[in-house]
Amino acid sequence: TFYFHEPDAVGHKKGPDSPETAQMIMHLDSLVGRFLKKLDRLPIKDQVNFIIVSDHGMGNISPERVVFFEDYLKPAWVDTFLGSNPTYLLQPNFGYTDSVVMALSKVPHMQAWKKSEIPARLQYGTNPRIYDVVLVADSAWSLGKHKRFSPSRYTGGAHGYDNADNDMGAIFYAIGPAFKSGYTQLKFSNVDVYPLLTHILKLKPAPNDGNLNDVQGMLVKP
């Protein structure tokens, strides 16, 4: 396995649609090309499954699209804030959770959930380290606090939005003896990659949230 930290860094700084990001993607594509060229020289080339994934997408942000959620809360309501754009965790003081959620649920361009009411599809909220209220900005919007605001913090790109947002879509490419040729797979969750890998490697998977049934259509032998 190998990992590149780009184009995440340039995407954050310059934005996903910038010339700088496009140039970085071309550079990474050339490195993949070199890898495949050298792989083709090996005697085991026909036994290798090569998979390219990414962990998330990236959305454009702007200092003109920022929600200062603290404007809608009374200081006595909240004990602790944790997070950064576009997701925050709030720990209300005892007895104020409903007040916090009710106030923030009326704020445009963001979502506010009690920990116990986060949509099940997000598979989030069951860990004790997660605070009682979760905030997520709408696509292309940002969450911020006045004391941390500067235009440069909200310029470029961001990720961490609802994974149903098309801007958060990741890539998946695969080639090798395990995979059908010329097959186009329907969208699936990143957590499905793990059971796919364990299936190909004939390993017993640890407990996980993935579903092999959602991805086995790409396999030569499901």
pLDDT tens string, the chain, 222 residues long: the values are 899 999 999 999 999 999 999 999 999 999 999 999 999 999 999 999 999 999 999 999 999 999 999 999 999 999 999 998 999 999 999 999 999 999 999 999 999 999 999 998 888 888 889 999 999 999 999 999 888 788 888 999 999 999 999 999 999 999 999 999 999 999 999 999 999 999 999 999 999 999 999 999 999 987
Q: Report the C-alpha gap between 139 and 154 in whole angstroms.
A: 13
By three-state DSSP, how is residue 193 classified?
Answer: helix
Question: CB atoms < 10 A from the CB of 184, how many?
Answer: 7
Beta carbons of 143 and 135 less than 8 angstroms apart: yes
Give which of 150, 152, 134 is closest to 87, Cα–Cα: 134
Q: Report the C-alpha gap between 216 and 214 in whole angstroms.
A: 6
Put simply, whether the predicted model's pTM sits higher than 0.85 gets the answer: yes
